Amino acid sequence: MAETCPITGLKNILVATDGSVCSEKALSEAINLSKSCNTKLYVMSVVEVNEEYEALAPLVVEKADEEARMFLDAAQKCAEREKVSCSTIVHRGEDPAHFIVEEAEKLKVDMIVMGKHGRTKALRKLFVGSVTAKVISHAHCKVLIVPS
């Protein structure tokens, strides 16, 4: 079990990832932070779907689930190589930001780590992605945004 870091005050960290380059950098940063602070790490991914899409293309949704689980398994192995305690979480739904904030509250994490953009980048790279912006505005804890 992780102890509270005397320097940062962190005990639990949640990193949200979609497998994009930005989120891979966020994962790397979260693993380094967890290792330095001896914190518990949760890695989560949200498969973005709605009921209509699931009904029309169940095989596509199933493939997206598989990809998310494969990425999370790889992330967990990477964390474990660094001696970081890590658990993975997958959600399926329409609003990734909602699931990220909800999971952070449920797990009582001290910090959410995520990339500046996910797979759906804004038109201009100067702005923060829409999921990231929602998490920043609704999270009850610190949010670390890792730039690409």
CA distances from 103 to 26, 107, 131, 147 (A): 17, 6, 14, 23
In a domain, 3, yes or no: no
Three-state SS at 12: strand
Domain span holding position 30: 12-146
In a domain, 6, yes or no: no
CATH number at residue 74: 3.40.50.620
Q: Which of 28, 25, 30 is nearest to 13 (CA)?
A: 30
Q: What percent of the chain has pLDDT over 90?
A: 59
Tell me how many domains the chain contains.
1
Whole-angstrom distance, CA of residue 85 vs CA of residue 39: 7
pLDDT in tens, 65-91: 899 999 999 999 999 999 999 999 999
pLDDT in tens, 102-133: 999 999 999 999 998 655 544 434 445 688 89
In a domain, 2, yes or no: no
Phi, psi of 142 (to 5 degrees): -65, 150
pTM (two decimals): 0.86
